[in-house]
Chain A
């Protein structure tokens, strides 16, 4: 069973701090990794994609990938109350088509 694991949280951080969200996956041959943000009652919104080891930065967001450790993380710098949401980690599995396996998500709460 291919799995994606995330800490459910809530992860509580003060405004302006760095929020660190983590995700581990079981399928060693997974190639591509995605972070989605989901506000309560809304659909997931893609915020970051990564498929090479190392860091990828986009504004206040940095995705980090370590395939040897089967670990992907999302850092949010200068966290704002508007970042409060559930963050879903998704992994494209091996198998020849664009199938994503989703983690259950980590709830982030940024307090003023």
Chain B
């Protein structure tokens, strides 16, 4: 089955801790994305990546870090510098990053719900 997996499903963080959220895809997609969703708000882009060892900041990157060591994997670290990390975190992927003909749709993983204790 092709798809995107995220783990864990639920994560609890204490103040001052860094935590890492996993995202893996076997769709052979080049581009991967991390979004954050807060109640009553649209999804906001944290980071995105087009190829291995390359990634760019999105609209709300402060307090987050990512790596892209493998095409299939794009883990997100929520650092202690992120002051309000409680949210639903969604990983997505698409065939490519560049806009081109066609829709180049983004598909989402099941998400990780992070709560700060």
Within 8 A of B (CB), among A1-23: 4, 8
B109 within 8 A of A: yes
Residues of chain B contacted by A96 (CB below 8 angstroms): 98-99
A88-B108 in contact (CB<8A): no
Shortest CB distance A56–B (Å): 11
B40-A45 in contact (CB<8A): no
B98-A97 in contact (CB<8A): yes
A88-B43 in contact (CB<8A): yes
Residue of A nearest to B4 (CB): A43
Interface size counted on chain A using CB atoms at 8 A: 26
Within 8 A of A (CB), among B27-45: 31, 40-45
Residue of A nearest to B112 (CB): A43
B interface, over-half SS? loop
**Cα separation A8 to B9 with both chains bound (whole Å):** 27
B42-A104 in contact (CB<8A): yes
Residues of chain A contacted by B99 (CB below 8 angstroms): 31, 92, 96-98
Within 8 A of A (CB), among B17-65: 31, 40-45, 48, 50, 58
Contacts A42-B111, A44-B43, A88-B42 known; list 17 others, CB within 8 Å.
A32-B103, A32-B104, A34-B106, A42-B110, A43-B90, A44-B108, A49-B105, A88-B43, A90-B106, A97-B50, A98-B94, A98-B98, A99-B48, A100-B45, A102-B42, A102-B44, A104-B40
Q: Which residues of A contact B (CB under 8 A)?
A: 4, 8, 31-32, 34, 36, 42-46, 49, 51, 88, 90, 92, 96-105
